[in-house]
């Protein structure tokens, strides 16, 4: 017969073995997890190989080199060595645009909102041009691509001969110049991927032959250039033909009133479609640089001996439409030296 004392002993015994079993399972679980953790540190699983889902991609189309000198190079980075990159990178497709039957009417409303008017002149199946803003003191036109809404504003004749502009009369501040450019862009349509914290202004004077030359102070300034930039992608910056400016620029001047006297807005939207591609090592890219196979974007010095201070990955967008967001390896040196090398390995570049 089961007595209370016997039942109590059996219950305690059962609980003891349950406790021992649970503790054993917990110990075995954490031992297993610890073994997996140590194994991943000592013998990590290799990452998946690059997918290269788009097949061979286009080589970036760089413009003509900013300078044509032959250079010799030395490395003097913070570490004293070239960096080590991951062996693959995301390549993104650029967004495609398609014609809209109401595009011209929509564009007409946009340009009217910033003063351009009259009947448009059709320059091609997608390019249309409208004339001077109402009450403008200089003659201007705006040309708009009615498919992707890229546009340019040009003065005719050149604004560089206008006496009020040359005098610097009513020239806005740098911050107001940015606002003028934003307002003009907002009328046409502001892209979602601009990073206004990256916005740069450059100040200019107009030389006797009508060229823009860097000003030494705001007091001497006659023209303010506003440059907009796109957001980083995968924590990598987007660079353009000139690393100090972009394909989205506005020239702001004074006169009877502050005004946009010129603009060139070329923007490409990046799609959400991407695939991984293998990339060159920094050493392979440096070897190409030494062979003269790089695009020299800027250099303001005279010496043919270039000291490289920084090497990093970035993405490149040109002033011409492209199919992919091109990864590049950037070499940065003294006196404004910038050079770009295509990052994707040669076997995945189409001929």
pLDDT tens track for 122-141:
999 999 999 987 667 788 99
Burial of 36 per CB tally in 10 Å (0-12, 13-18, 19+): exposed
Other CB atoms within 10 Å distance of the CB of residue 80: 7
Q: Please determine, for residue 241, whether its predicted confidence score (pLDDT) is greater than 80.
A: yes
As a whole number, the mean pLDDT across the chain is: 90
Question: For 21-30, 50-59, 114-123, which range has the lowest pLDDT when averaged over its residues?
Answer: 21-30
From the list 166, 124, 165, 168, the residue with the least C-alpha distance to 146 is: 124
Q: What pLDDT band is residue 277 in, cutting at 50, 70 and 90?
A: very high
Q: Are 18 and 55 in contact (CB under 8 A)?
A: no
Q: What pLDDT band is residue 115 in, cutting at 50, 70 and 90?
A: confident
| Residue % of the chain over a pLDDT of 90 | 72
Token representation of residue 212 = 């823009």
pLDDT of residue 48: 76
Q: Distance of alpha carbon 217 from its chain centroid, rounded?
A: 28
pLDDT of residue 156: 79
């Amino acid at each position: 017969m089961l007595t209370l004392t016997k039942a109590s002993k059996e219950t305690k015994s059962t609980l003891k073995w349950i406790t021992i079993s649970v503790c054993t399972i917990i110990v075995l679980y954490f031992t297993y997890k610890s073994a997996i953790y140590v194994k991943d540190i000592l013998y990590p699983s290799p990452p998946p190989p690059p997918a290269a889902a788009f097949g061979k991609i286009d080589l970036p189309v760089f413009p003509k080199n900013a300078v044509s000198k032959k250079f010799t190079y030395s490395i003097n980075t913070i570490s004293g060595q070239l960096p080590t990159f991951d062996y693959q990178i995301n390549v993104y497709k650029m967004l495609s645009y398609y014609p809209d039957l109401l595009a011209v009417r929509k564009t007409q409303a946009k340009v009217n909102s910033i003063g351009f008017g009259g009947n448009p002149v059709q320059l091609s199946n997608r390019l249309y041009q409208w004339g001077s803003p109402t009450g403008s003191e200089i003659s201007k036109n705006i040309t708009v691509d009615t498919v992707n809404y890229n546009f340019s504003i040009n003065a005719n004749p050149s604004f560089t001969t206008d006496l009020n502009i040359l005098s610097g009369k009513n020239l806005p501040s740098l911050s107001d110049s940015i606002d003028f450019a934003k307002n003009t862009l907002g009328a046409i349509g502001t892209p979602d991927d601009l990073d206004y914290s990256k916005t740069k202004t450059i100040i200019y004077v107009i030389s006797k032959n009508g060229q823009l030359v860097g000003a030494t102070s705001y007091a001497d300034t006659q023209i303010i250039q506003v440059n907009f930039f796109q957001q980083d992608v995968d924590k990598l910056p987007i660079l353009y033909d000139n690393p100090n400016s972009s394909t989205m620029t506005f020239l702001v001047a004074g006169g009877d009133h502050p005004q946009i006297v010129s603009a060139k807005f070329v923007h490409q939207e990046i799609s959400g479609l991407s695939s991984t591609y293998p990339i060159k090592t920094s050493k392979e890219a440096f070897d190409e640089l030494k062979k003269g196979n790089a695009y020299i974007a800027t250099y303001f010095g005279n010496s043919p001996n270039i000291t490289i201070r920084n090497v990093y990955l970035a993405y490149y967008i040109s002033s011409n439409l492209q199919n992919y967001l091109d990864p590049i390896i950037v070499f940065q040196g003294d006196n404004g030296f910038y050079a770009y090398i295509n990052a994707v390995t040669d076997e995945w570049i189409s001929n």
